[in-house]
Amino acid sequence: MVGRQGILLAAASAFAERGYSATTLRNIADDAGIQAGSIYHHFSSKDELFATVLDHGMTVMDEAFDRADGSLCGQVRAHLGALFEHGPYTTAHVTAFFTTPADVRAASVPHRDSYEAKWQQLLAELLPHLDDEQVQLHRLLLLGAMNSTVEWFDPTGDVTLDQLAHLVTGQFLRGVTT
């Protein structure tokens, strides 16, 4: 893997695994097969590289959401698919965002907010008997549960992403007792 795309992929992978601060430009350069100084031909700073990774990740999330069928299970499957089937860009969003210095992550807050607004609208239509604040709480819990899967789910194991999506959807809509 070469050039800007190779750097971006190596950066996303490192940020996702170690977080923003623990990832060094030398780490990224090693994984990309170049020298650390060469990164600056493609990106002006570590911050810009990180912001580009997060922006790429949110674009993947957006496209998956917009392509899905609109059913809750379909949207859950799309979100999980974005996390596990489209490289480490989305994973970096989940694992590295919160502990990154506020001024660095600020650039990606609007993109995140617009994605969360899509979920808010979807759930509001699905749950007309609840007010906006209740919907928001349920949304945050659902996204929290889905995003936590990056810390423990193995997509190559014997549970498939489809099965996981059905499990998440069932627990959310009907609970575990059914």
Partner DNA sequence: GTCTATAACATGATAGAC
Partner DNA sequence: GTCTATCATGTTATAGAC
- Residues 146-165 touching its own copies, rule: CB under 8 A, are 146-149, 151-152, 159, 164
For residue 10, the surrounding DSSP H or E stretch is: helix 3-18
User: Cα separation of 12 and 20, whole Å?
Assistant: 10
DSSP characters over 124-176: HHH-TTS-HHHHHHHHHHHHHHHHHGGGT--TTSSS-HHHHHHHHHHHHHH-S
User: Cα separation of 76 and 78, whole Å?
Assistant: 5
Residue 121 binding: pick among DNA, its own copies, none (C-beta 5-8 Å cut-off by kind): none
Q: Is 141 in the site for its own copies (CB under 8 A)?
A: yes
CA triplet 20, 26, 29: central angle to 5 degrees?
100
Size of the site for DNA (CB under 7 A): 20
Task: Count other C-beta atoms under 10 Å from residue 173's C-beta.
Answer: 12
State the minimum distance, in angstroms, from the CB of residue 89 to its own copies: 16
User: Cα separation of 157 and 141, whole Å?
Assistant: 25
Q: Is 17 in the site for DNA (CB under 7 A)?
A: no
State the minimum distance, in angstroms, from the CB of residue 72 to its own copies: 10
Q: Is 24 in the site for DNA (CB under 7 A)?
A: yes
State the minimum distance, in angstroms, from the CB of residue 41 to its own copies: 26
Q: Is 25 in the site for DNA (CB under 7 A)?
A: yes
Q: Is 106 in the site for DNA (CB under 7 A)?
A: no
Residues of this chain that interact with its own copies (CB under 8 A) are 17-22, 95-96, 98-101, 127, 130, 133-134, 137-138, 140-149, 151-152, 159, 164, 167-168, 170-178
Residues of this chain that interact with DNA (CB under 7 A) are 2-3, 23-26, 29, 33-38, 40-42, 44-47
